[in-house]
Amino acid sequence: MQSLLDIPRGARSLLKGMGVTIRHFFRKPVTVEYPRKRAPVAKAHRNAIVLIEKDDIGSHNCIACLQCEKICPSACISITGSRPDGIAFKRPDKFDVDFALCSDCGLCLDVCPTDTLGYSEVYDAAGYSRADSKFDLLEAWRDKEGEALGTLRERERKKKEEREAKRKAAEEAKAKAAAKEKAEGKEDDKTGNGTAAS
Ligand code: SF4
Ligand code: SF4
């Protein structure tokens, strides 16, 4: 008798289970077929740092100030830079990072004055030796450096022109004010003389 009662209970349980299966069968999958497809990386995810493009120059905007190198607690950043002709700031010649030492603390991103450091979307880099974890962050940008320098020089030239125009305008305004003051002084003298005569 008990086993007869178990039949509808078992059937109900079976249908419930099938319902869950069927519901999920028509849902969008939440998994991806890695490594053929890659899951999107959340913005808050911290991983290998990279130099990021600044739209206004079409390349990174590292000015080789070395602030990231100095603040890095793991001493894994190594940068050298020089100032190209016609540009007010330096550009890096070397920007190496040893990711075997990096702790993803984010301090380098915090101090960067040009916000040109960011996290990459790489989360599965691997290698066979410690040397494989050393990366040249400028590698991705070398082809664009010439164009970026052109844009920066043009920007610098415009700034210089603006500064010169402002300086001239200030000088002209000063000269006008001095002339006006002088003219008013002469007028006062004349008025003063007239009063004394009467
Ligand atoms: S995230 Fe931290 S440890 Fe890594 S390079 Fe930047 S400052 Fe150094
Ligand atoms: S702090 Fe920013 S601008 Fe300065 S060297 Fe590092 S990446 Fe370049």
Q: For residues 100 and 128, is the Cβ–Cβ distance under 8 A?
A: no
Q: Is 120 in the pocket of ligand 2 (CB under 6 A)?
A: no
**Closest Cα to atom 2, ligand 2: which residue?**
112
| Per-residue pLDDT band at 197 (split at 50, 70, 90) | very low
Q: Which residues contact 35 (CB under 8 A, 6 or more apart)?
A: 124
Task: Name the fold adopted by 49-150.
Answer: Alpha-Beta Plaits (3.30.70)
Q: Report domain extents, the chain.
A: 49-150
pTM for this predicted structure: 0.75
Q: Which residues contact 146 (CB under 8 A, 6 or more apart)?
A: none
**Tens digits of per-residue pLDDT, 89-140?**
999 999 999 999 999 999 999 999 999 999 998 888 889 999 999 999 999 9
Ligand nearest to the CA of 47: 1
Mutating to test ligand 2, I would choose from 117, 135, 138, 152 the residue with most ligand atoms within 8 A of its C-beta, which is 117
| Integer Cα distance of 43 and 50 in angstroms | 14
**Closest Cα to atom 3, ligand 2: which residue?**
62
| Per-residue pLDDT band at 1 (split at 50, 70, 90) | low
Distance from residue 182's CA to the centre of ligand 2 (Å): 53
Q: Give the per-residue pLDDT at 194.
A: 47
Strand-pairing partners, residue 79, are 95
Length of the chain in terms of residues written: 198
Does the structure show a pLDDT above 70 at 193?
no
**Tens digits of per-residue pLDDT, 54-65?**
878 999 999 999
Q: Give the alpha-carbon dihedral of 160, 161, 164, 165, to 10 degrees.
A: -150
Mutating to test ligand 1, I would choose from 79, 107, 135 the residue with most ligand atoms within 8 A of its C-beta, which is 107
Ligand nearest to the CA of 77: 1
Ligand nearest to the CA of 67: 2
Q: Is 114 in the pocket of ligand 2 (CB under 6 A)?
A: yes
List residues near ligand 1 (CB under 6 A). Answer: 49, 72-74, 76-77, 97, 102-108
Q: Is 117 in the pocket of ligand 2 (CB under 6 A)?
A: yes
**Tens digits of per-residue pLDDT, 7-41?**
888 999 999 999 999 999 999 888 899 989 988 88
Atom of ligand 1 nearest to the CA of 68: 7
